[in-house]
Amino acid sequence: MAERPVTSDVFPTTESAALQVIVCVVFKRNAPPDQVSALKSAVIACPSVLQAVEVTGTFDLLLELTVPDIATFNERLNIVAASVASLVERYDVNFVGKRFIRTNADERAIWVQCDDGIKRIDSSVIDKITAEGDYMRVHSEGRSWMLHATMRSVLERLDAKDFIQINRSALVRADFIDQLVHERGRWVARLQDGTNERVTKTHVVTTLKQLRKH
């Protein structure tokens, strides 16, 4: 196979990227610094690379990236193996099995899956959360993400005093409610994005009480 220089499209990102990979790289001590630097820049520019960390010790560079599957990763790696052989002493590949994220006790946020990994959504920018079957849809600043969770578990991750459950399937940030109106025999919350959410009878008293606090 002909050598191919490493460019930013070597590891492209795809919507089907489901696996996360940690690659630990050791550069050759006599490798030209400018070529090593160019290689690092090209790899870091790849859309599927989530983060890159230069370290001291056993390895020189740690990369975390997402790939559709192991076969695709190996195929893409083989494409550039020959071109980096003069710079790389060795590399280790580890596929991530489970991720643990430590958060501060007072941190209020939700982590959601996105195309290239996971994304942190702070409670202060979450507009509303709506139930869709066994999933919750998290709405924030005109975008939305699906989260496999229950309404109760989601509320536990947020600052409860800032959110109001206005019906069985909708949790709304109090500051996101522009107006609460009574029309045609029912209460409706008019939100800042122009949408409306019905406030069911069982939630009217709680909703009015919480809004008065704000």
- Residues of the domain holding 56: 19-95
Q: Which of 35, 60, 95 is the last residue of a domain?
A: 95
Query: Is 39 a domain residue?
Result: yes
pLDDT per residue over 67-118, tens digit each?
888 888 888 888 888 888 999 999 999 988 776 656 554 568 888 887 777 8
Q: Do 128 and 139 touch, CB atoms closer than 8 A? A: yes
Residue 127 shares a structural domain with residue 90: no
Least confident range of 8-12, 58-62, 138-142: 8-12
Q: What pLDDT, on a 0 to 100 scale, did the predictor assign at position 128?
A: 94
d(CA 208, CA 92): 58
- Judged against a pLDDT cut of 70, whether residue 38 lies above it is answered with yes
Token pair listed for 58: 């056993």
Which conformational region is residue 194 in: left (phi greater than 0), alpha (psi within -120 to 50 degrees), or beta?
left
Query: Is 80 a domain residue?
Result: yes
pLDDT per residue over 97-110, tens digit each?
776 656 554 568 88
- Judged against a pLDDT cut of 50, whether residue 143 lies above it is answered with yes
Q: What pLDDT, on a 0 to 100 scale, did the predictor assign at position 212?
A: 83
User: pLDDT band at 8, cuts 50/70/90?
Assistant: low
Residue 27 shares a structural domain with residue 91: yes
* Rg from Cα positions in the chain: 24
Q: What pLDDT, on a 0 to 100 scale, did the predictor assign at position 127?
A: 94
Query: Is 104 a domain residue?
Result: no
3-class state of residue 107 by DSSP: coil
Residue 67 shares a structural domain with residue 161: no
Q: What pLDDT, on a 0 to 100 scale, did the predictor assign at position 1?
A: 37
Q: Residue 71 sits in a domain of what CATH number?
A: 3.30.70.920
- Judged against a pLDDT cut of 60, whether residue 14 lies above it is answered with no
182-210 exposure pattern, b = at least 16 Cβ within 10 A, e = fewer: eeeeebbbebeeeeebebbeebbeebeeb
Query: Is 100 a domain residue?
Result: no
Per the structure, the count of domains in the chain is 2
Q: Which of 95, 129, 161 is the last residue of a domain?
A: 95
